[in-house]
Amino acid sequence: MKLDYLLLDVFTREPLKGNQLAVVCKADGLLDGEMQAIAREFNLSETIFISKPQGERNTASVRIFTPGVELPFAGHPTVGAAVVLGLQNKVTAVRIEERIGLITALFERNDKRSGEARFSLPQLPVRIASLDDRAAIALALGIEREEIGCGSYQPAVFSAGVDFHLVPVRDAGVLTRINLNMGQWNKTFPHGHNSVYVFTETPQESGNDLAARMFAPGMGLVEDPGTGAAAAALIGLLSEHADLGTGQLDLTLRQGHEMGRPCRITLQLRKENDVLIHGGIGGHAVIVAEGTLDLGNHA
């Protein structure tokens, strides 16, 4: 069995930055366990498998795996797959079937190996729970209790298909000092895969409005450089505090800087009569390598 694959850097215009992604093409016929094993072999934050669509009007069907679990939705694989499909099919929009539902992504080509994709969230973020034990949060993140909170933002759990514990911190300096303490991690962050998105506003920085770090030991990841699904969840918390009434807010978030893999994620939210009606995620991606998986008869 031979399968062609591409390696991309996502949420960046530059090779060797951003969040790495493996894209396995023509993955029709692979079993769940085979896809999970291949994702574990690549050992990147996520691997996406592209197959023929079920709907004739759609471009492709995909499955998304971390080294440890399958996800119904993820942002950086969606952006990466949309760029690959846009380049291959020479189109400006692609329709991707994911476990969470159908996603339409708009694509803009930069050159023959890179482009930008933007998509509306297939599921708007919803508040799952509050996070009230600041002492436990501070202990788990290795920061001071007084450093939790940013403006009026308070810790909470949101999901736009994948649950994330959102923890606002005082400033970007706090982000750099995080030192994980896993002893009480799952008890402190009990929802979903125990994933935590720590974020702050960055009014002193040019080129971005927010900064974040994402930790997901339950997904087989210590830290992820750029997490679209977490940014999608964050749109829910941002919406609660956005004094728009009716209007649109466009923001840029940086992630991955502390890992040496800087990512830039664009966020969009639209409200009507103070109700969130649209959320969007976008970013650039560049193909950096291609190859063939040679699995013989042992996949």
- Same domain, yes or no: 97 and 165: no
pLDDT tens for residues 72-120? Answer: 999 999 999 999 999 999 999 999 999 999 999 999 999 999 999 999 9
- Same domain, yes or no: 116 and 131: no
Range of the structural domain that residue 106 is part of? 2-121+284-294
Report the number of distinct structural domains present in the chain: 2
Nearest residue to 227 (alpha-carbon basis) of 161, 177, 290:
161
User: What letter does residue 30 receive in the DSSP assignment?
Assistant: -
- Same domain, yes or no: 130 and 276: yes
**Inter-residue contact 154 to 168 (CB < 8 Å):** yes
User: What is the distance between the alpha carbons of residues 106 and 117, in angstroms, rounded to a whole number?
Assistant: 5
In 101-165, which ranges are continuous DSSP H helix?
A: 134-141
- Same domain, yes or no: 182 and 141: yes
User: What is the distance between the alpha carbons of residues 62 and 65, in angstroms, rounded to a whole number?
Assistant: 10
Catalytic member of 14, 34, 41, 46: 46
- Same domain, yes or no: 277 and 288: no
- Same domain, yes or no: 182 and 68: no
pLDDT for res 298? 53
- Same domain, yes or no: 158 and 73: no
Which of 48-62, 209-223, 261-275, 278-292 has the lowest average pLDDT? 209-223
Residue 149 has pLDDT above 80, yes or no: yes
Does residue 34 carry a catalytic annotation? Answer: no
- Same domain, yes or no: 111 and 246: no
Is 18 among the domain residues? yes
CB atoms closer than 10 angstroms to residue 31: 9
- Same domain, yes or no: 154 and 225: yes
pTM over 0.75: yes
Structure tokens at 123: 């599921």
Nearest residue to 117 (alpha-carbon basis) of 141, 86, 148:
86
